[in-house]
Amino acid sequence: MSFPIDSFWLYHKLSAKSTLPLFDSVFAVAVTLLAFSLPDKLHRGGDLGQLVLPILIFEFIGMAILLYWFKFRRLIILARLVTLPQLCLIFLGLLTIVLLPRMAELVLRYGGGSGSWSNWTLSQTVNVNFLVALFLVDGFTLVFALSLRRHRFVLKTSAKEIGISIRAQLAGFLLLCVLATMELISPWFNDEFIIVVPFVLLLEEILVARQFSRGMGARKRDLPGTATKNGQV
């Protein structure tokens, strides 16, 4: 007995509203775990200058997790209904995001040393592992966005927004590649990349917001009666 593949994917789907509670809960757990990665570093003491950088790293990683939550959640809402392969992508993204607090703790402890491609050190290994976790989260988010381009449940009015999100994420992914290259080949660029990552993600959101606002302005100009209200014929 044959079973249409389209019927299989249609049957194994969930609404975005059913997926979001689990999604939000896992990100909340990730932020909570991140909070527990800071005290061990602080208890070892030191002057104020030695405590500033760990606190900054903690805050910037928390900002990165928040931005990943925001842009991944926006894509899930645009999807409206999520199929089984997309659920797998979401699940893999969630598994990876909970690794970031542990990776952050290792960076706080060992990531401040120097290293280069020819002189591989523990600090460089820790920093590269954190970058790999970031690449996985960013990659799963990007693949999920790409899957929405031919997603039958996406509204036609949302297709342009998805395209804007994909272009912004590709730009951010390329910038993360630049950071990873600098980490591998530069002896002076160590755990400083953690401070840069949130700004890369924030730049993505600024690009998306600008494109969204331009699109909304264009749609308003195309609405019937808009030209008449502006005194135009």
* The most confident of 114-123, 149-158, 177-186, by mean pLDDT: 149-158
What does the pLDDT read at residue 1?
42
Percent of the chain beyond pLDDT 70?
Answer: 72
Range 64-86 average pLDDT: 88
Question: Above 50 in pLDDT, residue 82?
Answer: yes
Q: Which residue has the higher pLDDT, 189 or 102?
A: 102
Q: What is the pLDDT of residues 132-143, one digit of tens each?
A: 888 888 899 999
Range 37-56 average pLDDT: 62
* Phi, psi at 83, each rounded to 5°: -85, 175
Range 88-97 average pLDDT: 89
- Please state which of the ranges 37-46, 174-183, 209-218 shows the lowest mean pLDDT: 37-46
What does the pLDDT read at residue 230?
46
Percent of the chain beyond pLDDT 90?
Answer: 2
DSSP conformation letters of the chain:
----HHHHHHHSEEEHHHHHHHHHHHHHHHHHHHHTTSHHHHHT---HHHHHHHHHHHHHHHHHHHHHHHHHHHHHHHHSEEEHHHHHHHHHHHHHHTTHHHHHHHHHHHTTS---SSS--HHHHHHHHHHHHHHHHHHHHHHHHHHGGG-TTS-GGGHHHHHHHHHHHHHHHHHHHHHHHHHHH-SS-STTHHHHHHHHHHHHHHHHHHHHHHHHHHHHHHSTTHHHHTT--
What does the pLDDT read at residue 189?
63
Question: Above 60 in pLDDT, residue 174?
Answer: yes
**What pTM does this model have?**
0.76
What does the pLDDT read at residue 2?
45
Question: Above 70 in pLDDT, residue 191?
Answer: no
CA dihedral angle for residue 127, residue 132, residue 137, residue 141, rounded to 10 degrees: 130
Range 18-45 average pLDDT: 76
Question: Above 80 in pLDDT, residue 93?
Answer: yes
